[in-house]
A and B are shown apart, each in its own frame.
Chain A
């Protein structure tokens, strides 16, 4: 089983159609990876599915970078 970081990055690559090397921890979905509002909603849905968790809207809004997504999953995902 890959680490949470690897799984999050894989989802970002798939959802946003970006290159793996561009998905750094500091990368922001909108500013660096070119995501639009619909992309970010889909990204959150994909994270929810992969990690079998539910991310409330007010939390989802705060997840704007790859690192923030990893941190959120680390704190909330079921093992």
Chain B
């Protein structure tokens, strides 16, 4: 098996980009555990990953006790996590002047703080194992900005800076830390956008279409693979040319 049955943890894997990532890593031969906030979501993940022997677990990334319980379960059942994909994320969009404190806090807590806390717990085992892959799911919005998403952009830009700093700390342990920054991907999250916003965004994409979750998952699969061993601290944009640098 090409990946030597590595164990991968993907947060927010019940739908959208996270579900595609979980399936992709399973297809690459990894033993995948996906998380969802509800038992029903975890059940859907187990169903989706059944052909490859993967499963879903219920975990609220913002709840320390829930994270601890889930990680202990994974350690006992699958073993040490070698690939961590921090994908779980939420949006609470509003113009900054109208943005409520709780909308700011919820987005920063879930998208940035929870990812850092989970990474801190999981990376200990990677350091011992002297190998590991951490992939953070950022966003084009974290680099290019987007009106109405100051909280989301701050969290996603924060993830990329976090990744670059952590990459410097753990590089000597053969652990890479990278960010994949999706653009406008066809998921439930973007289906909530109004028609005018969709049209405007499409006009900014040279490839002239929304991206598929599978196209983001392919980038994550690459960074999680052995072949990407010399790439760390990088942000890989998957956005149809919506933002170039």
Contact = CB atoms under 8 A, between A and B. Distances in A.
A36 to B, nearest CB: 7
Contact of A45 (B124, B170, B173): B124
A36 B124 CA distance: 17
Nearest to A46: B128
Interface residues of A, number: 4
Nearest to A41: B127
Main secondary structure on chain B at its contact with chain A?
helix
B124 A38 contact: no
Contacts of A36: 172
Interface string B168-181: 01101100000000
Interface string A65-79: 000000000000000
Interface string B89-111: 00000000000000000000000
Contacts of B173: 38
Interface in A21-79: 36, 38, 42, 45
Interface residues of B, number: 7
Nearest to B128: A42
Nearest to B169: A38
A42 B170 CA distance: 11
B71 to A, nearest CB: 15
Nearest to B124: A45
Contacts of B124: 45
A14 B128 CA distance: 11
B172 A42 contact: no
A66 to B, nearest CB: 21
Nearest to A42: B127
A49 B188 CA distance: 43
Nearest to A37: B169
Contacts of A38: 127, 169-170, 172-173
Interface in B140-191: 169-170, 172-173
Nearest to B170: A38
Nearest to B172: A38
B8 to A, nearest CB: 23
Nearest to A36: B172
Contacts of B170: 38
9 contacts: A36-B172, A38-B127, A38-B169, A38-B170, A38-B172, A38-B173, A42-B127, A42-B128, A45-B124
Q: List the 5 closest A-B pairs by CB distance, nearest first.
A: A42-B127, A38-B172, A45-B124, A38-B169, A38-B173
